[in-house]
């Protein structure tokens, strides 16, 4: 009887060690970059919050006002710059470029302008930060989360941005 109890206890301990060893953090590596810190920096004064819709190309194509349709961010500097969210869940820029700074904790954690990676079109990813180059002005933008239907279909994204931004 003592031998059976001893074998049972050893078995429980061995399985317990495997169980505890397997219950660590996920296997997903943490993304680090120059603009990232683990502590969230509060949103700066003047942060603008928007829900963008991925309802297709904005602008003049259908005669609709792109701001009212909710598909683009226009910048109030008198220019024709805008950034839209396309139906394929990309940011699309007109007369500007955009670059990802990777996964960040919030808008305030975007602190530097990337030295490369700027393009006219780039994927939208929740939890990621972006820098928009308008020529002589910069915008920092953070994607908080997807906007979804009750069926979990992505129809847009909630974003925060600061314009103008001086890094």
Q: Please give the pLDDT value at position 12.
A: 46
Q: Please give the pLDDT value at position 150.
A: 94
DSSP character at residue 62: T
Q: Please give the pLDDT value at position 75.
A: 75
| CB neighbour class for 90 (10 Å; exposed up to 12, middle 13-18, buried from 19) | middle
Q: Which two tokens stand for residue 46?
A: 């003047």
Cα separation, 109 vs 2, in Å, equals 60
Residues 6+ apart with CB under 8 A from 47: 107, 160, 161, 162
Q: Please give the pLDDT value at position 38.
A: 64
157 upstream amide cis, omega within 30 of 0: no
Q: What is the mean pLDDT of each run of 10 residues along the chain (167 residues)?
A: 52 48 43 55 88 66 45 72 84 89 94 93 94 90 94 91 88
Q: Please give the pLDDT value at position 22.
A: 46
Q: Please give the pLDDT value at position 9.
A: 47
Q: Which two tokens stand for residue 81?
A: 């710059």
Q: Please give the pLDDT value at position 32.
A: 44
């Amino acid at each position: 009887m003592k031998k059976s109890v001893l074998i049972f206890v050893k078995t429980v301990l061995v399985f317990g060690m495997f169980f505890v060893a397997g219950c660590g953090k996920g296997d997903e590596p943490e993304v680090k970059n120059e603009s990232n810190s683990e502590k969230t920096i509060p949103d700066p004064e003047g942060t603008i919050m928007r829900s963008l819709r991925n309802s297709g190309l904005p602008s003049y194509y259908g005669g609709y006002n792109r701001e009212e349709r909710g598909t683009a961010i226009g910048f109030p500097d008198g220019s024709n710059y805008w950034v839209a969210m396309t139906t394929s869940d990309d940011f699309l820029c007109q007369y500007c470029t955009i670059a990802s700074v990777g996964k960040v904790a919030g808008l305030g954690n975007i602190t530097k302008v990337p030295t490369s990676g700027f393009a006219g079109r780039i994927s939208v990813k929740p939890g990621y930060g972006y820098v928009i180059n308008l020529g002589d002005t910069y915008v920092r933008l953070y994607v908080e989360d997807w906007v979804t239907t009750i069926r979990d279909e992505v129809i847009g994204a909630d974003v925060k941005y600061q314009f103008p931004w001086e890094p």
